[in-house]
Amino acid sequence: MEALYLDCGVRRSQLMRVSLGSADAPVMTRSHALRHIGVALAGYLALWGITATLGVPQVRESVLDTVRAGAGTTTGEPKAIATAPVPLLVRVHYGDRSFDAVEWHLWVFPVHIRLFTERFRIF
C-alpha cells in the first residue's frame, strides 16, 4: 500500500511535514503578490481604456441624438463633453444656450443605462 502513494521511491521517513504556522512553510511571496496586484491593475486599466475609447463616444452620440430629437426646447446646437471617470461609467455634460445638464451612464460594451440626470435651466 505504501508503494501506491510513494511511487517516486521516497520513503515515509524521508518525507518532511511542515506545519502551516511554521516559518519554513511555503507562503505567498512578495513577487507572487505583486504579480496578482499587477494583473488586477492591468485589468482595471484595460477596462478603463475600453470605456474611454469605445463607450465615451457611443454614449455621447446617443445623448446628443436624444437632445436633438427633442429640439423644440433648445435654442441652438447642443454641445456635449463626455468623460470616463472610472471603468464602465460615463459622465456626459451637455447643453446649449438655454439649458445645461449632466448625465451618468453605466456602459457595458454595446449597452448603456442612464443612472442619473441633473438639468439646469439657464435664462
Where do the domains of the chain lie? 32-121
In this structure, are residues 91 and 114 in contact, taking their beta carbons and an 8 Å threshold? no
Ordered DSSP codes for 12-31: GGG-----TTSTTS----HH
Residue 4 has pLDDT above 60, yes or no: no
Helices (H), 14-95: 30-50, 56-69
Look up the pTM and report it: 0.69
Query: pLDDT grade, residue 120 (50/70/90)?
Result: confident
